[in-house]
Amino acid sequence: MTGILKIAYKLLVNDKGKFAALLIGITFSVFLMIQQTSMFAGMMRKASATVTNTGAKVWVMDRAVTSVASSIPMPDFMRDAARSMKGVKFAVPLYLGAGLARLQDGTYQGVSIIGLDDSSLFGRPELIEGNIEDIYAENGFVVVEDAESPKLENPKLGTTFEINDNRGVIVGIAKVPASGLFGIPTLYTTFSRAIQYIPSLRSTVSYILIEPTSVAAIPGIKIEINKLGYEALTEDEFIDRITNFYKYHTGMGTNILIMTVISFIVGLSISAQTFYTFVLENLDRFGALKAMGAKGRELVYMLLFQAGITALAGYGLGIGLCTILIAAARLRVPDYASVITFGNLALAFGMVLVIAAISSYIAVRRVLKIEPFDIFRS
């Protein structure tokens, strides 16, 4: 068998023009698919950054919330109601809002402000400088050091600024796993200071974070919260909701979906067509092989092997190209969103397999139809 596959390999690779066309088609298509989906994955990671950084198991929110930033305040009594529910170990409020910081040089910079529960500081980030207790100090804020912090002029411990006409002072510098989608710096403070400094509605709680006594308690909590007219989502459900919102209810997600489908179709048509031409050009020779005693399934193995080689090589090249491009983009744009996840790779791999399968299916059908008799009559 290996000899037959070796012949198949030589037939394919020695036909340099067609092999190149096949590779380019698949590489290009893989590149686009991964590029598009990884861009989307990267944006979604950022869009859900607050959720993943906070690390709460259950989030309580208004039913109309579609993404973490578009929180809708809930009345304070919800916090007490949640606390007294069965299966709730503890329930704390989280404030999420936007403020305007005035820097030393007088310019303004929008910031995202997260107010942590005063007593527990649940959801606090990991500090790389400073002490978390200092957040209670007068005007204390913790700044997240990420690609956005230079926009606050790289604040150090003790740096002061104005926030919505109140004084603020940096008491800690934090690192978080993911930074946000909107390209603005993030400040942490206490819940009470946040609502004091930032104009709010009468209701002030953006989210209630619940730690259940066990995973088994979550369904019960959801039902109870639902009875009160609000909604409780697990962390994963919340991330899914955010992702679905961007995917289906914003131009961004829909465009990326369309682009991914188009790259698939482009890859498919280039490679299916080239592969079919390749087979057509060699049709009489495949017929001669049949006449000589090659069995139909041996020809099928040859074609599948050729399609498989091309698909794998194109897949590898596509990934490589995409990685290089993302790395290059990062050099210029530090918070460039793309991340290549296993999901992206698996999706692209699946699509490449589909491309190879369809291309070889068309070719196989043609080759199986050859009558060796026609070779004699040509």
- The footprint of other proteins (CB under 8 A) covers 1-4, 6-7, 10-11, 14-15, 282, 284-285, 287-295, 298, 372-373, 375-378
CB of 284 to other proteins, least distance (A): 5
SS (H, E, C) the chain: CHHHHHHHHHHHHCCHHHHHHHHHHHHHHHHHHHHHHHHHHHHHHHHCHHHHHHCCCEEEECCCCCCCCCCCCECCHHHHHHHCCCCEEEEEEEEEEEEEEECCCCCEEEEEEEEECCCCCCCCCEEEEECHHHHHCCCEEEEECCCCHHHHCCCCCCCEEEECCEEEEEEEEEECCCCCCCCCCEEEEEHHHHHHHCCCCCCCECEEEEEECCHHHHHHHHHHHHHCCCEEEEHHHHHHHHHHHHHHHCHHHHHHHHHHHHHHHHHHHHHHHHHHHHHHHCHHHHHHHHHHCCCHHHHHHHHHHHHHHHHHHHHHHHHHHHHHHHHHHHHHCCCCCCCCCHHHHHHHHHHHHHHHHHHHHHHHHHHHHCCHHHHHHC
CB of 292 to other proteins, least distance (A): 6
CB of 279 to other proteins, least distance (A): 13
User: Which residues, including other chains, have CB under 8 Å from residue 28's CB and lie 6 or more apart?
Assistant: 263, 266, 267, 270, 318
Q: Which is nearer to other proteins, 52 or 282 (CB)?
A: 282
Q: Which is nearer to other proteins, 135 or 302 (CB)?
A: 302
CB of 303 to other proteins, least distance (A): 15
Q: Which is nearer to other proteins, 10 or 330 (CB)?
A: 10
Q: Which is nearer to other proteins, 316 or 372 (CB)?
A: 372
Q: Which is nearer to other proteins, 126 or 371 (CB)?
A: 371
Q: Which is nearer to other proteins, 176 or 302 (CB)?
A: 302
Q: Which is nearer to other proteins, 133 or 284 (CB)?
A: 284
Q: Which is nearer to other proteins, 103 or 294 (CB)?
A: 294
CB of 148 to other proteins, least distance (A): 56
Of 231, 317, 358, nearest to 25 by C-alpha is 317
Q: Which is nearer to other proteins, 288 or 329 (CB)?
A: 288
| CA–CA gap between residue 27 and residue 311 (Å, rounded) | 9
CB of 302 to other proteins, least distance (A): 11
| CA–CA gap between residue 353 and residue 348 (Å, rounded) | 9
CB of 298 to other proteins, least distance (A): 7
CB of 367 to other proteins, least distance (A): 14
CB of 19 to other proteins, least distance (A): 10
